[in-house]
Amino acid sequence: MSEARRGGFGDELVTVKLTVNRQARTIMVEPRMTLLDALREELALTGTKKACDRGECGACTVHVDGRRVLSCMTLAAMQEGKRITTIEGLERNGKLHPVQAAFVEHDGFQCGFCTSGQIMSGVAMIEEAKAGWPSAATSDVTRPFTLADLSNTEIRERMSGNLCRCACYPNIVDAVAEAAERS
């Protein structure tokens, strides 16, 4: 954080430089502002949803330096110099990310409120599986985990931090499984 100035009510605003969806951005935020609120209010990126606002539902999931993060549980001021990817940043050259496309194909949403967080978690969990990370559902953690080991049980466990009020879980699992097969 390179500079600070006074905001309202005696709070100082801090300058935070970060990369959001492959674009360098500089924002002025109150030190207690969450990353979720900064994305929505300062950068007008409203695809990341504010639901529980206490880290229980996963609707606010974004990627910070390639790792999934609950943006309601981290401060924007802590993101200095980091790479943030939101749902708006997944598409490339007008083409949906494979997980986004699979959600459309498998009707992986109903009301759509949790969808951006579900997709962001799906993208990250596929990368985690590719990297060989086991989960609580992995039956043998003594051998390397591969993408071929990504069963529906594994997907359900790895996506368990994302809640869907419409109970669209079977379609979400199918969408993530198909996207994982394609990758």
pLDDT mean by block of 10 residues, the chain; 183 residues: 51 94 98 98 97 96 98 98 98 95 94 95 97 95 94 97 94 97 90
User: Smallest Cα–Cα separation from 15: which of 88, 23, 24?
Assistant: 24
For residue 92, the cross-strand partners are 95
- Burial of residue 33 (CB within 10 Å: 0-12, 13-18, 19+) is buried
Task: Check residue 68 and give its pLDDT.
Answer: 97
Q: What pTM value is reported for the model?
A: 0.92
Task: Check residue 5 and give its pLDDT.
Answer: 55
Rounded CA gap, 40 and 48, in Å? 7
> Structure tokens of 15?
């300058």
> Structure tokens of 147?
């993408």
Question: In the CATH hierarchy, which fold is given to the domain comprising 98-182?
Answer: DNA polymerase; domain 1 (1.10.150)
Rounded CA gap, 148 and 15, in Å? 44
DSSP letter (8 states) at residue 40: I
Rounded CA gap, 183 and 179, in Å? 6
Domain ranges, ordered by start, for the chain:
4-89, 98-182
Q: What's 4-89's CATH class?
A: alpha beta
| The dihedral sign for the CA sequence 28, 29, 31, 37 | negative
- Distance between alpha carbon 155 and the CA centroid of its chain, in Å? 16
| The dihedral sign for the CA sequence 159, 165, 169, 175 | negative
Task: Check residue 2 and give its pLDDT.
Answer: 44
Rounded CA gap, 96 and 92, in Å? 7
